[in-house]
Amino acid sequence: MSILNLLSVPKRALIERVFPKQKLLADIRSRWGQPGERHAWRPGIHFELTRAAANAELVDDKTWLDLEFPEIFSRLDTTTTPLGRQYLFSMMRTYVDDPSKLAERQACSRILRSDVALRESLQLRLAALRDDGHADIADCVFGEMPRTMMYPRLLLLWSAVGLLTLVAAISGVWPVWTIFATVAVNLVIIIRTFGGLRRHSEALKRALAMLPVADALCRVKVDAVAFRALGQLCEQAPVRKQAQNRLRWFALFQREAVQWVTIWFNVTFLAELVAYAHALKHFAQARVALQSTFELLGSIDAVVALASCLERCPDHCIPDISSAALIEMHDGYHPLLASPVRNSLRLDGRSALIAGSNMAGKTTMIKMVGINIILGRTLGFCLASRATIPHSSVMASIRREHSVESGNSHYFGEIERLQTFIESARCGSCRVFIIDELFSGTNTIERIAIAQAVLEELAEDAQVLVTTHDVELQQDLFADYDLYHFQENPDIEGFFDYRLKQGAAVERNAIRLLERVGFPEEVVARAMHLVASSSNPGPVSA
């Protein structure tokens, strides 16, 4: 038990002030195995800055939103630093083709879950970069190169004049008013020259703060083969040293002992501005080392968060990734549900058409499968007891109830998305599609006709998981689609059991729900009569 837990609250507060490391350690321990709670500042900036150069398949923006990954990411994000947060975001957006890389992530997670001392030692060292301001480091080391300073030699000459003026005035050689004159000129230079560069200057200071943290992590005793990122950090120590030497003058301004007098150095002889101009001359050479350090530190922090997630979700598995068109999920569940109902599904070279009424669970089901395929291909685990997933990316088109799109704008957006699906399926760039209720804003006859044509086309080259209210599609698509459904049950609390059932939907319980919630008897009776007298023969089971 921590010493903090043995003390009364006043004594604990005193201990935390005297021993801040104890407070930090208590915070680290309290967050282990717990869901993340924050919507973090700029989590996707590293991904946005590097996505164009990424030599890998990426989770596209619409799929990311449609499958609720922003919220899933927030739950997984228990990282210590903005670097880890941004790297975790990039991990979750990038499909991994190399199985050994996924296996390595899982191996590191197992080490961190079992070795508490190692995990906390890493987190304590990373905590030096925990401030949200370090989110701007990505801009500095991956964004556009900063523009060079104008007239750097003239700036250096004027700085020397300012320093000489200060020394001469203090020694009595020159009158004191010369200092004030120099300060006035320097303030104009700082405002006009340095004002627009301040954000990048501060980001560069924070980037340089990564280097001693990386050196501190190298002192952690760990098997470098099993924990390759730490081994790489140690191997790159000489490169970081070179970067520190190139930027050492500017690095002085991040030290606490210097910061409190920095303003006086700046207004008297432009010390920080001169150091920044000097740093820019060498920044391009040091940038590669800073980029590598960022990603290695971020990967270590991210894998700690991954280990925390797996500790919180012990019901997970390492999926088999198949080159065949096989999707098999046993007892799979959705990560955002507090008490999820687990469902199983197997699609061997076939697609799935899932029927059912609103709120029965069909959209959650297809989201669950899509989410688990992406988690398996990016982080290396699925939330299921056993899973086999295809070596494919996933594309989704989920109807969002609260979308501002409506009418024709929604329809055109949907057909453009589905056109992309068809093109991707034909060229083989994606072989798994998640679709929720096609063309829901169009009339019934055209909706069913277009949906059948699109789904038949997609099924020729890919696997599709699609939901529908149109039970007529069941008899039209069973040649390529396995039929599933969710069923209302008016006799249970809540009306739905959220259990996926095989076969076509044949029962009609929706009207019975009207009776259950208290609709007038004559309305329920009339609805029943209309259904009974309908000429629609109903679906045919596969």
pLDDT of residue 542: 39
Looking at per-residue pLDDT, the higher value among 75 and 202 belongs to 75
The answer to whether 376 touches 389, Cβ cutoff 8 Å, is yes
Which residue, of 283, 312, 341, is where some domain finishes? Answer: 312
Are 137 and 95 in the same domain? yes
Are 221 and 349 contained in the same domain? no
CA 214 to CA 293: how far, in whole Å? 7
Q: Which of 224-228, 259-263, 357-361, 403-407 has the lowest mean pLDDT?
A: 403-407
Q: How confident is the model at residue 404 (pLDDT cuts 50, 70, 90)?
A: very low
Residue 349 CA to residue 343 CA, distance in Å, equals: 20
The angle subtended at Cα 356 by Cα 350 and Cα 362, nearest 5°, is 65
- Cα distance between residue 426 and residue 461, in whole Å: 6
Q: Which residues of 503-515 are buried (b: 16+ CB within 10 A; e: fewer)?
A: ebbeeebbbbbbb
* Predicted pLDDT of residue 37: 79
Whether residue 148 has pLDDT greater than 90: no
CA distance 459 to 92: 27
**Is 46 contained in some domain?**
yes
3-state secondary structure 324-390: CCEEEEEEECCCCCCCCCCEEEEEECCEEEEECCCCCCHHHHHHHHHHHHHHHHHCCCECCCEEEEE
CA distances from 275 to 144, 421, 542 (A): 20, 53, 75
Contacts of residue 417, defined as CB under 8 A and 6 or more positions apart, other chains included, come to: 62, 397
**C-alpha to C-alpha distance for 437 and 362, rounded to whole angstroms:** 10
Residue 6 lies inside a defined structural domain of this protein: no
| pLDDT grade for 327, boundaries at 50, 70 and 90 | very high
Question: Do 264 and 331 belong together in one domain?
Answer: no
Paired strand residues for 464: 433
pLDDT tens column, 476-509: 999 999 999 998 766 666 678 899 999 988 766 6
Question: What b-and-e string marks burial along 104-116, b requiring 16 or more CB atoms within 10 Å of the CB?
Answer: bbbbbbebbbeee
Same domain, 368 and 223: no
Same domain, 305 and 347: no
Same domain, 285 and 328: no
Instruction: Clarify whether residues 404 and 516 are in a common domain.
Output: yes
Which residue, 282, 312, 342, sits at the end of a domain? 312
**What amino acid is encoded at 43 in this protein?**
P
Q: pLDDT digits over 106-125, tens only?
A: 999 999 999 999 999 999 99
Does residue 365 have a pLDDT over 90?
A: yes
Confidence of residue 518 (pLDDT cuts 50, 70, 90): confident
209 has a pLDDT exceeding 60: yes
**For the chain, how far is it from start to end, CA to CA, in angstroms?**
60
In a domain, 289, yes or no: yes
Q: Would 473 be classed as within a structural domain?
A: yes
Q: Is residue 399, in this structure, part of any structural domain at all?
A: yes
Cα–Cα distances (Å) from 247 to 239, 262, 507, in that order, read 13, 17, 73
* pLDDT of 425 higher than 50: yes
Written as six digits, the tokens of 283 are 């920044």
Short-list 100, 132, 139, 192, CA closest to 380: 100
- 304-307-308 Cα angle (round to 5): 90
> Is position 1 within any domain?
no
Mean pLDDT, all residues of the chain: 87
Confidence of residue 539 (pLDDT cuts 50, 70, 90): very low
Tokens 């169009």 -> residue: 442
Per-residue pLDDT for 158 more than 90?
no
pLDDT in tens, 377-391: 999 999 999 999 999
Same domain, 71 and 185: yes
Residues 264 and 285 in one domain: yes
Angle 209-198-271 (CA atoms, 0-180°, nearest 5)?
Answer: 80
Q: Which domain holds residue 286?
A: 32-312
Q: What is the pLDDT of residue 405?
A: 42
How far apart, in Å, are the Cα atoms of 44 and each of 201, 300, 302? 22, 17, 14
- Give per-residue pLDDT as tens, 8-19: 445 545 554 556
Indicate which CATH number applies to the domain containing 368.
3.40.50.300
Tokens linked to 375: 């988690």
To the question of pTM greater than 0.95 for the whole model, the response is no
User: Could you give the CA distance from residue 208 to residue 225 in angstroms, rounded to a whole number?
Assistant: 27
DSSP three-state, residue 443: coil
Q: How confident is the model at residue 246 (pLDDT cuts 50, 70, 90)?
A: confident
Sequence-ordered list of residues with C-beta below 8 angstroms from that of 286, at least 6 positions apart, any chain: 242, 243, 246, 247
Bigger pLDDT: 26 or 9? 26
pLDDT digit string (tens) for 44-68? 999 999 999 888 999 999 999 999 9
pLDDT for 3: 44
Whether 331 and 305 map to the same domain: the answer is no
Q: Does residue 367 sit in the same domain as residue 472?
A: yes
Rounded-to-integer distance, Cα 304 and Cα 302, Å: 5
Domain-ending residue, one of 312, 343, 359:
312
Domain assignment of residue 487, yes or no: yes
Which two structure tokens, joined as six digits, stand for 482? Answer: 């396995």
Characterize the bridge pairing of strands 386-390 and 326-332: antiparallel
Domain of 174: which CATH number? Answer: 1.10.1420
Round to whole Å and give the CA distance between 468 and 447: 11
Q: Are 351 and 421 in contact (CB under 8 A)?
A: no
Ramachandran assignment for 356, one of left (phi > 0), alpha (psi -120 to 50 degrees), beta (any other): left
Going by DSSP bridges, is the β-strand pair 351-355/386-390 parallel, antiparallel, or unpaired? unpaired
Residue 5 lies in a domain: no
Q: What's the total number of domains in the chain?
A: 2
Asked whether 304 and 76 are in contact (CB, 8 A), the reply is no
Tokens of 236: 């790159």
Q: Do the beta carbons of residue 428 and residue 436 sit within 8 Å?
A: no
Residues 443-481: b if buried by 16+ CB within 10 A, e if exposed: eeeebbeebbebbbbbbeebbbbbbbbbbbbbebbbebb
On whether both 271 and 325 belong to a single domain, the answer is: no
Query: Does the pLDDT at position 534 exceed 80?
Result: no
